[in-house]
Structures are given as C-alpha cells and as structure tokens.
Amino acid sequence: MDTPGCGRYSTNKAGMDGLDKQTIMQIILENSKGSKFYENELRRERLLHQQIEAKLRQIRSLTPVMIQNAEHEASVLFLIPVHTTCLIQPEVRYMCPAS
C-alpha cells in the first residue's frame, strides 16, 4: 500500500522491534489526514517527485555526443593549475583525480 507523506517515519526506535512497519505507517496516515502537517508532507513529496522527473527528463535528453563533450570538458578542468596564496615562493599544483 502506498502511504504518501509518510516516507520519513522510522520504526527503528526503542521498543519498536518486531512491529509491522506497514501497520504503523497506516495508523500514522489515518490519524494525520487533513492536518496541516500532513498536507505539507504531501506538498513536499509532490515537489520532490516533480524535481526528480525534471532531472530524469534532462538526463534522457542528453545525446552520446553531449555526454562525451562534457566528459572531455571535465577531464580538461582537472589539468587547470591551482595556485597557492604564498607570494614568496608560489607553488603550482595540478588537480588530478584519485587513481
């Protein structure tokens, strides 16, 4: 059963070992329906799903060429020199990905 707005409740608390998580979620859902808290939780959950869907659409729209260009651009960024703030003996380091 889908219990919107109740995804963040935890049954991993003291004294709750062995209890049915689904039953607990159903009780919480039934007792909080119509409250401002419940409506806010539903709103936040809808917003989160919209954001996820938007990101997935954006990812699906990427072509292999676009991904390859972005990977190349990122690899070039790792070779940009990073200067320290020491003016007496400036040190140049290069950012390299961990191997």
pLDDT digits (tens, 9 = 90+) for 17-64: 777 888 888 888 888 888 998 899 899 999 999 999 999 999 999 999
H/E stretch holding 17 reads none
6 neighbors 24 (Cβ within 8 angstroms) = no
How far from chain centre, in Å, is Cα 51?
10
Measured CA to CA, the distance from residue 52 to residue 56 in angstroms comes to 6
The whole-number pLDDT of residue 1 equals 42
What integer pLDDT is reported at residue 14 of this predicted model? 72
